[in-house]
Amino acid sequence: MSTRYLPSPLGLEVTDAVHQMAVEGTAGEERWSPAKLWAELASGGWTELADGDTPGADADVTLLDLCVMAEAWGRALVGLPLLSTLAARRWLAERPPAGTAITLVVPEWDRFLLPYPAQAALVLAGGGTAPVAGESTVDDHAPSLPLGRAGTAPGPLAPAGALRDYALLATAEAVGATDRALQDAVEYAKTRVQFGRPIGSFQAVKHTLADMHRDVELARSGVTWFSNDPAAMTGGAPYVLQLCASVVERAIQVYGGIGYTWECDLHWSLRHVTQAHRLVVAALAGSAS
Amino acid sequence: MPATSFADPAVDEFRREVTAWLTTAIPAEWRERRNDLTMDEEIEIRRVWDRQLFDAGYAGLSWPEQFGGRGLGVIEDFTFNDIAARMDAPEGLGRVGRLLAGPAIMHHGTPEMQARFLPAILKGEELWCQGFSEPGAGSDLASLGTRAVRDGDVYRIQGQKVWTTYAQFSDWCLLLARTGAAGSRSRGLSLMLVPMRQPGVEVRPLINITGTHEFNEVFFDGAETSTDLLVGAEDEGWAVSGTILTHERGVGFGAIALNQLHGYLRLFTEHCAAHAPAIAARLPEFVTRVELLRWQMMRSLEKMAGGDASPRSSAVLKVTWSEMVQEIVHLAAFGGCPEHTDLYRTRLLFHRASTIVSGTSEIQRNIIGERVLGLPREGSAKA
């Protein structure tokens, strides 16, 4: 298969549609896990996007298309298991109905992580699914990426290929969460006035934002690279996710004091990226063992 | 038809064609004695290389066919430069003509100008230099003071240019001079073609920090050029220069930089890491970062080939490769590899240029901030 540097036209269409649904779906009160949005995704067939003819094969949309879509999804910071469901369905021979939320058991050191423990009822198990077993405590550091933690496996471990695909989509999603912070910081720098001028006109701030833009672009290039060469994630994805975190950290600096408060949304992005780093590192280690 | 994607099978075919040609075309002298050549020998090889490029059809890869080019695009341009850099091919002396003067004349010159100058540029028969920067006008190019005063059917030129690469070999200068009132900034500048070999033009060498002679100062004291050699309208040289400078910041530099970066990483991996723990410790990080840059470059090129010809992605690439290569040679020079210390300390000097040429890193960050992110200009945006 030839190298893909850019998403397909279909991938761009899908991205726009999913992004719009995500933005509208998270505008209400049920911010992190809006049931209405999930129903809409399922009825529109969006959870079946990655269903290829055979397990692990590309559907009409390519892995890179899915990544671009995942980035747009991440920009809305949604706590719904869309990406784990897409990654899992790629590896299923027989697929459950579109509305069934699926997650993956990810080994981490002496325990197990379960993304979206409260939102997904099934885990991927080889070529099929299994119900979630046992109890887990919830790590809700990032409400857009809740992780269950359990001492015994809450189901069979996901196959290596699925763990890798999920790590890829979770990385792309984190790039989206990062880009949101960058865009917010840019808008803030255009409107926040000090010394009689918008702070974004000062080079100290402008050049910080320029560097953040460069780093988001490089992170995006990383996702493009990994979608073509998933094995490269082992060394590359942790670097890219740290780069993302450093962008969000600088966004908080651009906001100044208000960026340090609960009222400002930036901490949700930083929480998401940090959580994604944990999940992706574990998933990659799990996919290698 | 230019390729719009690296996946185009025509690009594979092109790659094979270029590799085959370079394998036989690179002169043995260059291949074998590259580092022992005298300046004169090097210049002679590079002068001949211009002609070799033309004869083989590589001089005007992305020039339109009507001007003697191949009518290809950025994908082929990058591919050629990439393979040439990897195979250590010489660089022609006619670069400024092919990348700056040629496009300026093609897009903004008269048909007479095109017929007179373009063939000689492609063949490398006439060499060009770029007369933009001045001692008092570097990053702030619009403040330049060299004057061109109309006198009948000629302009008389008075002033000084600097950083003029290879002015000592050049037949013509692509000159940006003030035709409007003093203080007219970008509104009073004109772009013109000026013969270098005439009384009133003096070229003085400016030796750079590595000890080589590439740059010059050029003094114009009553030098003349015909009013027919104005490119675009009088006082509208700023806009014309803006369109052609994007060529300079483009594809060739990126391909060369990427190959330099790969060269350092190869040397680290094969030699230095074993002797220098400081280099070994940071090698994996740099392998990842150079690869991210490569994917960024390929994505940008495909976007450009698809018609998104903004200078924006160039600024991101320029900042990234220029600063990365400096970080890497810094690590190399102080990383403690005994075998390569001599090489690396010379490279440490050499790569200081990267973040200054073709728009400093500070200017690139202004471009990203203002033209990509839409932030207000400094000082001009009172709330």
ipTM of the complex: 0.96
**What is the predicted pLDDT for the residue at A52?**
85
pLDDT band at B310 (very low <50, low <70, confident <90, very high): low
Q: How far apart are CA B132 and CA B165, in angstroms?
A: 11
A36 interfacial to chain B (CB closer than 8 Å): no
pLDDT in tens, B13-51: 999 999 999 999 999 999 999 889 998 999 999 999 999
Closest chain B C-alpha to A250 CA, distance in angstroms = 15
Tokens of B296: 């960024």
Closest chain B C-alpha to A254 CA, distance in angstroms = 13
Q: Closest Cα partner for B278 from B328, B322, B225?
A: B328
Query: Does the pLDDT of residue B382 top 60, yes or no?
Result: no
Q: Which of B5, B364, B376 sits opposite A198 (nearest CB)?
A: B376
**In contact, B49 and B90? CB cutoff 8 Å:** yes
Q: Closest Cα partner for B245 from B363, B91, B331, B373?
A: B363
Percent of chain A with pLDDT over 70: 100
Which secondary-structure segment (H or E) carries B29? helix B28-33
Closest chain B C-alpha to A75 CA, distance in angstroms = 17
Q: Closest Cα partner for B370 from B312, B320, B297?
A: B312
Average pLDDT over residues B288-316: 88
Strands of A122-125's sheet in order across: A102-103, A122-125, A128-131
Q: How far apart are CA A123 and CA B334, in angstroms?
A: 51
| Residues A80/A218/A1/B3 CA torsion (nearest 10 deg) | 130
Amino acid at A208: T
A239 interfacial to chain B (CB closer than 8 Å): yes
Instruction: Give the sign of the dihedral formed by CA A248, CA A250, CA A251, CA A253.
Output: positive
CB atoms within 10 A of CB A171: 32
**In contact, A147 and A138? CB cutoff 8 Å:** yes
pLDDT band at B249 (very low <50, low <70, confident <90, very high): low
Amino acid at A220: R
B10 interfacial to chain A (CB closer than 8 Å): no
Query: Does the pLDDT of residue B383 top 50, yes or no?
Result: no
Which secondary-structure segment (H or E) carries A102? strand A102-103
Average pLDDT over residues A149-171: 96
What is the pTM assigned to this prediction? 0.95
Q: Which residue has the higher pLDDT, B299 or B378?
A: B299
Instruction: Give the sign of the dihedral formed by CA A245, CA A247, CA A252, CA A256.
Output: positive
Instruction: Give the sign of the dihedral formed by CA B289, CA B294, CA B297, CA B302.
Output: negative
pLDDT in tens, A76-95: 999 999 999 999 999 998 99
| Overall residue count recorded for chain B in this entry | 383
Q: Closest Cα partner for B50 from B25, B31, B72, B74?
A: B25
Q: How far apart are CA A89 and CA A129, in angstroms?
A: 10
Angle between helices A63-75 and A160-191 (to 10 degrees): 40
Q: How far apart are CA A273 and CA B366, in angstroms?
A: 28
pLDDT band at B128 (very low <50, low <70, confident <90, very high): very high
Taking CB atoms and an 8 Å limit, are A225 and B380 in contact across chains?
Answer: no
**What is the predicted pLDDT for the residue at A54?**
85
Determine whether B248 is an active site residue: yes
Average pLDDT over residues A159-183: 97
A267 interfacial to chain B (CB closer than 8 Å): no
Measure CA of the first residue to CA of the last residue in chain B; give whole Å: 49
**3-state secondary structure at position A3:** coil
Taking CB atoms and an 8 Å limit, are A5 and B298 in contact across chains?
Answer: yes
Amino acid at A6: L
Residues with Cβ < 8 Å from B203, sequence gap 6 or more? Answer: B164, B167, B168, B196, B216, B217, B218, B219
Q: Closest Cα partner for A145 from A1, A285, A287, A283?
A: A283
pLDDT band at B311 (very low <50, low <70, confident <90, very high): low
Task: Assign residue A38 a region (left: φ > 0; alpha: ψ between -120 and 50; beta: otherwise).
Answer: alpha
- Name the residue with tokens 């993302």: A244
Give contacts of A3 with chain B, Cβ < 8 Å: 6-7, 298
B12 interfacial to chain A (CB closer than 8 Å): no
Q: How far apart are CA A191 and CA A55, in angstroms?
A: 50
Average pLDDT over residues A128-154: 94
pLDDT in tens, A203-222: 999 999 999 999 999 999 99
**3-state secondary structure at position B189:** strand
Instruction: Give the sign of the dihedral formed by CA A255, CA A257, CA A258, CA A263.
Output: positive
Give contacts of B312 with chain A, Cβ < 8 Å: none
Phi, psi dihedral angles at B368 (to 5 degrees): -65, -45
Q: Which of B248, B302, B327, B362 is catalytic?
A: B248
**What is the predicted pLDDT for the residue at A145?**
97
Q: How far apart are CA B159 and CA A41, in angstroms?
A: 68
Taking CB atoms and an 8 Å limit, are B365 and A207 in contact across chains?
Answer: yes
Beta strands per DSSP E along A169-273: 193-194, 197-198
Phi, psi dihedral angles at B87 (to 5 degrees): -90, 10
**What is the predicted pLDDT for the residue at B272?**
96
Taking CB atoms and an 8 Å limit, are A200 and B383 in contact across chains?
Answer: no
Q: Closest Cα partner for B77 from B6, B142, B175?
A: B6
Q: Which of B7, B372, B377 sits opposite A2 (nearest CB)?
A: B7
pLDDT in tens, B342-365: 999 999 999 999 999 989 999 999
**In contact, B58 and B89? CB cutoff 8 Å:** no
What is the Cα A77 distance to its own chain's centre? Answer: 8
pLDDT in tens, B161-218: 999 999 999 999 999 999 999 999 999 999 999 999 999 999 999 999 999 999 999 9
A234 interfacial to chain B (CB closer than 8 Å): no
| Overall residue count recorded for chain A in this entry | 289
pLDDT in tens, B260-280: 999 999 999 999 999 999 999
**3-state secondary structure at position A138:** strand
Tokens of B260: 């330099």
Q: How far apart are CA B267 and CA A87, in angstroms?
A: 39
pLDDT in tens, A222-258: 999 999 999 999 999 999 999 999 999 999 999 999 9
Query: Does the pLDDT of residue A55 top 90, yes or no?
Result: no
Chain-wide mean pLDDT for chain B?
93
What is the Cα B184 distance to its own chain's centre? Answer: 28
DSSP codes of every residue in B120-185: HHHHTSS-EEEE--BTTBSS-GGG---EEEEETTEEEEEEEEES-TTGGG-SEEEEEEE-S-TT-G
Give contacts of B362 with chain A, Cβ < 8 Å: 203, 207
What are the CA-CA distances from residue B161 to residues A50, A279, B169, B209, B371 (Å)?
60, 57, 16, 19, 28
- Name the residue with tokens 């908080």: A252
Residues with Cβ < 8 Å from A125, sequence gap 6 or more? Answer: A155, A156, A158
The chain A residue lying nearest B323, using CA atoms, is: A211
Give contacts of A240 with chain B, Cβ < 8 Å: 292
